Structure 1
Amino acid sequence: MDNMMHHHLREGSLGVKDIVFFVIAAAAPLGATIGAVPVVFSVGGPAAPALFLVASLMLLIFAVGLATFSRYIVSAGGFADIVKKGLGKTFGYTVAGIALLAYLSMLTGLYAQFATLLSDMIKTIFGADVPWQACILVALLFVGVLGYKDIELSSRVLGLLMILEVLILLIFDAVVLFKTHWSSFSSVHDIFPFPDLNNSGSTVALLFAMCCFVGFESTTLYGEEAKNPHKTVPAATYVAVSLIGIFFILTTFCLNIAYSNQKVQDVATADLMNFVFSANTAYVGEWSTRIMQVLVVTSVLAVLLSFHNALCRYLFSLARHNFLNMNLSKVHPVYKSPHIASIVLTVMIGLISLLFVLAHADPINQMYMFMVGLGTLSIISLQMLGSYAISAYFIKNKKGHLFTGKVLPLIAGMILTTVCFFTFINFNLLSGSDSLLAVSLPWLVIVAGVTGTINGVYRNRKKGNRNASVSTVS
């Protein structure tokens, strides 16, 4: 009995609010607004708010199936467990491999973004030159320690950071809405133009809009630690994707209004980095922009903490199911956290980052863009396979509502298949590079899936042979 306790997380420690904090923090409201939203405007033009609406509706379709499934199955295994239950153990191994690639890639890229932002902020405020490599080391230690300790501590830190970053943008939104002379707009189309999805630019912009939602599906990873998980996880899923969607629709709408007397697409293209800052300074003031520049750093720190905790639970669950070394499934006797997984993950990210440092890679144009692009493609692939698995699970077990359990997940799967294919063949647009390395990265998703399958089948057979030997001896 005591041994079993080493492989179970702290039950009932997270409510809907706590899980939503983790998920919205992963979406990085401020970080995505500063980094990804200008790209959506640059590629998609004034139709950006409508593109976020389309992205929200597409992912809500996926969220329905995910929430319905979580009313029946709760675990820390995420997509690996979902696909295992729906499509079988072998496909579960495939998804486990892709999931590890997805979150490792996202984390690595985000560490590079954070280190660059922190280095620039220190130079701006204090005039000191601190190399980004040193900033990565500090971030690794900080996030690793919080991941090692009680998850409730991480939740409180994330909650505070998320509230501050959302608040600063809501102030901007409120000021824009208050100062706007609505009589100058003759129709709804003037303030909320709809995109032409047959246009390649709109399709690419939609892809970047979907990137801003990456991480909301991680609600399922906290199922074992949730209070009343069969109700908490579905509720958190709906709340998270809805709030993320509303937030980005509102903020892009206000940015559109702020630049209404200019060609918003040209302004965004000319200065992606200061697109949001300039609008905020014009409407709210320089003081607010200074605060915003600091909160961008803490926003990305919140993302790091959120993804670190999510991946720790993946490692924990996969180890518990014999996909990885069993030591990763141990929990701390006091904090009830996957502390070994947190240590190993911190070391892994440190080693991957070291490879980029030794290769003299640019932290943003290469380390960040390549790895986040790869992570995004991997997560879209997980969502696609997860959708088909959810539909298959309910069909196979004759459970769930016909529409929410079987039809909608199937529709979501087909939509995400299209998105996944488009992302794969246009990865250079997502990574921002036409280099041979960049365009070769999407194939790592397939390599990860095959490697996961081989590893899972091998370890499962090895475990079966070991059990058979023990049975024969006894």
Structure 2
Amino acid sequence: MPRCQAGFHSNFPELMTVKKDQMSISNSEPRTTDAPAKEHSTALRAGSIGVLGILFFVLSAQAPLTGIVGASPLAAALGNGAGAPGAYLIVGIVIVIFAVGFVAMSRKIQANGAFYAYVTAAFGRKTGAGAAWLALLAYNTVQAAMYGLYGAAFSGLLASIGLEVPWWLLALATMAGVQVLGSLNIELGARVLALLVGLEVAILLLFGFTVLLHGGGPEGISVAASFSPEAIGAGAPGVAIMFAVASMFGFESTAIYSAEAKDPHRTVARATYLSVGVISVFFSFISWMLVSYYGPSRVMDAAGAALESGDATSFVLGPMVELFGPWAGVVAGILLVTSLLAGIIAFHNGINRYLHSLALRGSMPAVLARTNRHRAPAFAAWIQTATAVVLVLPFAILALDPVLTLFSWFSGLAVAALLVLYMLCSVAVVSFFRRERAGAQLWQTRIAPVLATVLLAWVLFLVVSNFTALIGGSAETATALLAAVPVVFLAGVLVESAIERRHHAATLGHALT
């Protein structure tokens, strides 16, 4: 997570660009004594990625097929049944409102990171560091969660053709491949993700439009059955909204790539709104077609039966097989694996750039700011891969179920951490524009961020209240995971405070000599 503020040192032009009218915030200045040595390059490849490239990184992080296969049966069975598509739409509206302030900040502060940069601009280094550590917690844990589900899905796929390979071995082997890809230029990564995302979106749209053209299932197609207030409010709508949030976050990663974007002032804003709009409509449409296929009166029972069978994927993959034949199940199974792989790659790239930016600002070891001949943050990539190994390996050593523990626990933790960050970012928008009024519009800098803060607080309450359902674990496990959020935030603040004291002492020592 990058730092963002005005008055950046000229040695760090790639980190952030601030508009001329932005106020200077002294505590955001880079610590030049901790800067990377000049003989090592720290520059990323500027102007190398456009709106569509960033969009594919974001959609990959959201893993559309994984989101539908993983969240829709839970939202329907444990939430509000036929009203689940409406829950996706509500979450999309909340995210759009949040994005208004987020985009306003991105136009003022162009940095290869979002939360850390924006929170630092509003509240200073220490609070920004807390946000940085929370974001690193969220992104590293959600990537580790994806490795768990990826390993299990890939192992199951190989078992279907007679090959028995442990899930953890597949996960570790993939980490090596992701490490190599993350060290290459970002355009290559964008092309790989475009292919993977395109395939998974294509098969879901094929299913959706086939159901639509056939007029739905036994009960036809009904808008009111899924999108009316009565339908959305039926059952346990809070649970449905919680699972919708879990499958849709990641759009904020658009700002991570601003240092490498073509015309970042426009690119980040366009990519953010486009990703939010696309994913909201997409999830609502596909889940609506699932409801239509089963029938509004039967979908909750069908989703519940899939969960009880131990194979929740059958809720989505079963209808595909019935509509298109056995080949669809095989292809969808393969695409589920590639969907997770795309998400893993996207989070790897995003985390690398947060570490790179933190190192440029002196809040991480300077070596993490170094880039290779492809201008990729290769040293940060090694640290990210090592972190993934540390997070995943204990689950393999203890022989824990990778889906019921690694995937479920860390996904829930990531959702809670990101919701806190969304709220903190919205408050930061209001605080920042109270001082920086030039060009500020009331809706973008006051009304939307305040409304987003209230709505996000409500969603966070739903998540915390239903956290055991989200992670599928015990109350003790839920408490331990939730406690990690404030602990990690505080750790970031304390470490930054120690760094500032050390820097101040060093500066004072130089002044006295």
Q: Do both proteins adopt the same fold according to a TM-score greater than 0.5, normalized to the shorter chain? A: yes
| Cα distance per residue 1:71-111 (max 9 Å; x no partner) | 11011132011101122222112111211211111111111
The aligned residue for residue 73 of structure 1 is 109
**1:249 equivalent in structure 2:** 284
2:367 aligns with one of 301, 308, 327: 327
**TM-score normalised by structure 2 residue count:** 0.88
**Residue 393 of structure 1 pairs with residue 426 of structure 2:** no
Matches within 5 A, 1:14-53: 14-42=49-77, 43-53=79-89
- Matching residue within 317, 341, 354 for 2:393: 354
Name the stretch that deviates more: 73-82 or 16-25.
Answer: 73-82
One-letter amino acid of the counterpart of residue 415, structure 1? L
Q: CA deviation at 1:392?
A: 1.2
1:442-469 residue CA offsets vs partner (Å, 9 max, x unmatched):
0100000110000011112212222232
Instruction: Tell me which residue corresponds to 2:156.
Output: 120
Equivalent position of 1:108 in the other structure: 144
**Is residue 77–residue 318 contact of structure 1 (8 Å, CA) maintained in 2?**
no
Aligned match of 1:421: 461
Residue type at the aligned position of 2:80: G
CA contact (8 A) 2:61 2:343 kept: yes
Cα distance, 1:8 vs. partner? 2.4
Give the CA deviation at 1:202.
0.6
Distance 1:268 1:394, change over 3 A: same
The secondary structure found in structure 1 opposite 2:484 is helix
Deviation beyond 3 Å, 4+ runs, structure 1: 181-188, 190-200
1:380 aligns with 2:416: no
Partner of 1:13: 48
What is the rounded CA distance, in whole Å, between the counterparts of 1:85 and 1:45 in structure 2?
A: 43
**2:149–2:402 CA contact under 8 A, matched in 1:** yes
Establish whether residue 446 from structure 1 lines up as the match of residue 481 from structure 2.
no
Q: In 1, distance between residues paired with 2:444 and 2:61?
A: 26
Gaps of 5+ in 1: none
**Code of the aligned partner of 2:135:** A
RMSD (Å), alpha carbons? 1.9
The match for 2:123 is 87
Which residue in 1 is equivalent to 2:449?
409
State the alpha-carbon separation in 2 of the partners of residues 347 and 436 from structure 1: 28
Question: How many correspondences in the alignment?
Answer: 471
Q: State the 1:37 CA deviation.
A: 1.3
Q: In structure 2, the residue corresponding to 1:390 is in which secondary structure?
A: helix
Would you tell me which structure has more helix in proportion to its own residues?
Answer: 1
Q: Which one is further off, 83-92 or 381-390?
A: 83-92
Distance 1:186 1:292, change over 3 A: closer
Return the alpha-carbon distance in structure 1 between the equivalents of residues 401 and 330 of structure 2: 26
Contact conserved, 1:148 with 1:343, CA < 8 A, in 2? no
- CA shift at 1:4, angstroms? 8.3
CA distance in 2, matches of 1:129, 1:186: 43
Distance across 1 between alignment mates of 2:156 and 2:507: 56
- In 1, distance between residues paired with 2:231 and 2:422? 25
**Identity level (%):** 32
User: Given the alignment of the two structures, is residue 283 of structure 1 paired with residue 323 of structure 2, yes or no?
Assistant: yes
**Distance across 2 between alignment mates of 1:416 and 1:309:** 27
Shift of 1:199: 6.0
Residues 60 and 339 in structure 2, CA contact (< 8 A), matched pair in contact too: yes
User: Which amino acid is 1:93 matched to?
Assistant: A
- Deviation track 1:338-378 (CA, whole Å, cap 9, x = no partner) reads 10000111012112222222222211111111111101111
User: Is the Cα contact below 8 Å between 1:390 and 1:409 reproduced in 2?
Assistant: yes
Structure 1 residue 192, shift from structure 2 partner: 3.9
Distance 1:445 1:257 in 2: 39
Q: 1:260 to 1:17 in 2, by over 3 A?
A: same
Q: Where do residues 186-201 of structure 1 align in structure 2 (5 Å cutoff)?
A: 188-190=223-225, 192-194=227-229, 201=236
Question: Any gaps of 5 or more consecutive residues in structure 2?
Answer: 1-10, 12-36, 307-311
**TM-fit CA distance, 1:185:** 5.3
User: Is the 1:147–1:308 contact (alpha carbons within 8 Å) kept by the matching residues of 2?
Assistant: yes
Please report the TM-score for the alignment, with normalisation by the length of structure 1: 0.95
Q: Which amino acid aligns with 2:403?
A: I
1:459 aligns with 2:499: yes
Alpha-carbon distance in structure 2 between the residues aligned to 1:186 and 1:445: 42
CA contact (8 A) 1:51 1:195 kept: no
Q: Is the 8 A contact 1:28 1:302 kept in 2?
A: yes
Code of the residue aligned with 1:71 in structure 2: it is R
Quote the Cα distance in structure 2 between the aligned partners of 1:448 and 1:435: 20
